Amino acid sequence: MPSLEDLTVSQEELSFAEILAQFEESHRSESGPRQGTVLAVSNDSVVVDIGLKTEGVIPAEAFRKADGSLGVEPGDLVTVTITGRNSEGYYTLSMLKVEKPKDWAGLQAAFEEGRIIGGVVTGQIKGGFSVDIGVRAFLPASRSGVREASEMEQLVGQEIRCKIIQLNVEEEDVVVDRRAVLEEEERQARERRFAEIQEGAVLEGTVRSLTNFGAFVDLGGVEGLLHVGDLSWGRVNQPSDVLKVGDTVQVKVLKIDPAARRISLGLKQLTPDPWSLAAEKYPIGSRVRGKVTRLADFGAFVELEPGLEGLIRMADMSWSRKVRKPSDVLKPGDMVEVVVTSLQPAERRMGLSLKAALGDPLEEVSARLTVGAVVEGPVVSLADFGAFVELAEGVEGMIHISDITSEKRIKHPKEVLAAGQRVRAQVLEMDAAKRRIRLGMKQLEPTSVDDYIAEHKPGDTVSGRLLDCGAKQAKVELGDGVVAICRLPLQGQAPAAKDSPPPKADLASLTAMLSAKWKQGGTVAASSAQALRGGQVRTFRITLLDPASKRIEVELAD
């Protein structure tokens, strides 16, 4: 039988075993994650009430943000894990929600399962870092997740999450990888963020990079593409004209493609489409100002505001026929005043007129010119049917080939005229509606009528031959190519019947007599009472000579 002493020792051993079991149980409960309340915050550490007799301490770096500020204040609730005690008796805490393996068996299991474990970077060594994961492990610099020397120095003393990538129990050689954990956490964060983003949402992002076709914007771990066409309603040649790397921008989510993991963003969609207000702001007929943005073979584009352009077609550039291409009148960058001539907001089209804003020069010319007026100007162009003469800037008159000269019959205007030659002409017709002015040059050439008018005066008595007799007036030939109008008296004999042929005249003696009388202004004997018939030679008195209209009027003098 055991002695009393043996029983006493056994009892003591039992009590010690129970005490040790209780301690281990307590330690296990302390080592698990628990929630605590922040009591105090300093630049170096944060004191946390973890529900035990002694508070815990966690390095302030665990809460420090990218801008250097601490994202914690007294009263905040935090989840921590007890990692031990410091020299002052406080519990040392960790924000990591993983535990260090307690033995080599635990390390082997973590390695085989690829689990994430916690560790503390204890120092920087050649090629990397030493890490305490329960045993001493090596973290290669290339797998640390940092690149800059300053970041490597700051890593020392930090708690990290890592995976065991190499384990040799016999040689106690352990290699860990932090970068793989960070990349996986970033991937998971991107997945969560991608799932949170919805089409139509307006988000704030940071421009990360620029390309020729757009800008990539970080939306908080997920990047979206802001295409160059969605930067502005106006024309943008390069994204760098609008944005720069690092800019913070508000963007709208236009489309999400889950399969391709793509997000399309828009900046211009945050402002109204200018075409939606075009009908109200730019009614047809309104006069507006804009900037010439580009030229084309068929016209010029003018920007009235960002995203809203109108087209000036060639026909609306100038009243002048001299304009052959847009660059004859405009160049990119010119500020111009135009008139809106057409508007189709749905098709995003607007017609503009430059010449309408300048005013129609034909109106001014029409106000000062009348039919019969004499004008002068240069020949601007020749055609088979005639010549065009510039009367004013943007106003041209046309001389038909038949009205160029009476001296000879010509087949083409170039036989008489040349481009640039200055000519005098008479206005024969004006049609403002058809924008047509007809001119004649031959009408200004001296004729036998001009000579006759120059040699006579009203009141002169002359001889002439009746050509055509009517009830109220007759035509009288006064000379070669000279015809006058004779108003007949109300009393007198009626003209001969149409079926009565005129008497035959001695043409030779009549010609000689008329020639002498035309020169002398004499008279031909005849009875005024004689019936008037075509072919008669009578004496007349000149009552009107009009050089401008080449009109001669006479009355019977016998």
pLDDT in tens, 195-228: 888 889 999 999 999 998 999 999 887 889 999 9
Please give, one letter per residue, the 3-state secondary structure of 361-389.
Answer: HHHHHHHHCCCCCEEEEEEEEEECCEEEE
- 357 vs 96, higher pLDDT: 357
Residue 478: name the closest of 531, 517, 447, 506 by CA: 517
CA distance 557 to 327: 70
Topology, domain 197-270: OB fold (Dihydrolipoamide Acetyltransferase, E2P) (2.40.50)
Mean model confidence pLDDT for the chain: 82
Architecture label for domain 274-358: Beta Barrel (2.40)
| Structural domain spans, the chain | 1-26, 32-94, 104-184, 197-270, 274-358, 361-444, 448-556
- Does an H or E element contain 230, and which? none
15: confidence class by pLDDT, cuts 50, 70, 90: low
One of 1.10.1040.10, 2.40.50.140, 3.40.50.300, 3.30.310.10 is the CATH number of 32-94, namely 2.40.50.140
Write the CATH number of the domain with boundaries 104-184.
Answer: 2.40.50.140
The yes-or-no verdict on residue 104 having pLDDT over 70 is yes
Among the listed ranges 40-54, 500-514, 522-536, which one has the minimum average pLDDT value? Answer: 500-514
| Inter-CA distances, 301 with 138, 282, 325, 464, 467, Å | 67, 16, 14, 70, 66
- Does an H or E element contain 421, and which? none
DSSP letter at 415?
Answer: G
Average pLDDT over residues 45-55: 86
Q: Nearest 5°: phi and psi at 346?
A: -65, -35
Among the listed ranges 314-323, 329-338, 377-386, which one has the minimum average pLDDT value? Answer: 314-323
98: confidence class by pLDDT, cuts 50, 70, 90: low
- Does an H or E element contain 226, and which? strand 223-227
The yes-or-no verdict on residue 323 having pLDDT over 80 is no
One of 1.20.1260.10, 3.40.50.1450, 2.40.50.140, 3.90.226.10 is the CATH number of 361-444, namely 2.40.50.140
141: confidence class by pLDDT, cuts 50, 70, 90: very high
Q: Assess contact for 553 and 523: CB atoms under 8 A.
A: no
The yes-or-no verdict on residue 16 having pLDDT over 60 is no
The yes-or-no verdict on residue 182 having pLDDT over 60 is yes
Coil, strand or helix at 37: strand
Residue 249: name the closest of 203, 281, 195, 286 by CA: 203
486: confidence class by pLDDT, cuts 50, 70, 90: very high
Give exposure, 268-279, as e/b (b: 16+ Cβ within 10 Å). Answer: bbeeeebbeebe
CA distance 199 to 252: 8
Query: What is the predicted pLDDT for the residue at 505?
Result: 42
- Does an H or E element contain 10, and which? helix 4-31
**1 residue type, one letter:** M
Query: What is the predicted pLDDT for the residue at 27?
Result: 45
Query: What is the predicted pLDDT for the residue at 494?
Result: 44
- Other beta carbons within 10 angstroms of residue 471's beta carbon come to 9
- 288 vs 33, higher pLDDT: 288
497: confidence class by pLDDT, cuts 50, 70, 90: very low
Q: Assess contact for 299 and 312: CB atoms under 8 A.
A: yes
| Inter-CA distances, 423 with 283, 345, 377, 400, 441, Å | 44, 49, 6, 14, 8
Query: What is the predicted pLDDT for the residue at 530?
Result: 55
The yes-or-no verdict on residue 504 having pLDDT over 50 is no
Which two three-digit tokens encode residue 268?
A: 């211009």
Radius of gyration of the chain (CA): 55
461: confidence class by pLDDT, cuts 50, 70, 90: very high
pLDDT tens for 246-291 read: 999 999 999 999 888 899 999 988 988 889 889 999 999 999 999 9
The yes-or-no verdict on residue 297 having pLDDT over 50 is yes
Coil, strand or helix at 537: strand
Query: What is the predicted pLDDT for the residue at 227?
Result: 92
Q: Assess contact for 269 and 252: CB atoms under 8 A.
A: yes
CA distance 352 to 317: 9
Query: What is the predicted pLDDT for the residue at 502?
Result: 44
Query: What is the predicted pLDDT for the residue at 286?
Result: 92
The yes-or-no verdict on residue 193 having pLDDT over 80 is yes
Among the listed ranges 178-182, 231-235, 523-527, which one has the minimum average pLDDT value? Answer: 523-527
User: Is-same-fold flag (32-94; 274-358)?
Assistant: yes
DSSP-assigned letters across all residues of 492-530: SPPPPPTTSPPPP--HHHHHHHHHHHHHHT------TTS
Query: What is the predicted pLDDT for the residue at 18?
Result: 53
Let me know how many helices (H) and strands (E) the chain has, helices first: 9, 30
State the CATH class of domain 448-556.
Answer: mainly beta
- List CB contacts of 337: < 8 A, sequence separation 6 or more: 287, 288, 289, 354, 357
- β-pairing verdict for 308-313 and 395-400: unpaired
pLDDT tens for 145-164 read: 888 887 888 888 888 889 99
Which two three-digit tokens encode residue 68?
A: 């250097």
Cα 216–chain centre separation: 23
Which two three-digit tokens encode residue 471?
A: 């009830």
118: confidence class by pLDDT, cuts 50, 70, 90: confident
Average pLDDT over residues 308-325: 86
Query: What is the predicted pLDDT for the residue at 251?
Result: 92
| Inter-CA distances, 468 with 121, 320, 477, 486, Å | 131, 48, 10, 10
Average pLDDT over residues 117-141: 91
Query: What is the predicted pLDDT for the residue at 507?
Result: 45
CA distance 193 to 196: 5
CA distance 425 to 376: 6
- Does an H or E element contain 182, and which? helix 179-196
Residue 181: name the closest of 126, 242, 138, 118 by CA: 118
**48 residue type, one letter:** V
Residue 338: name the closest of 306, 373, 302 by CA: 302
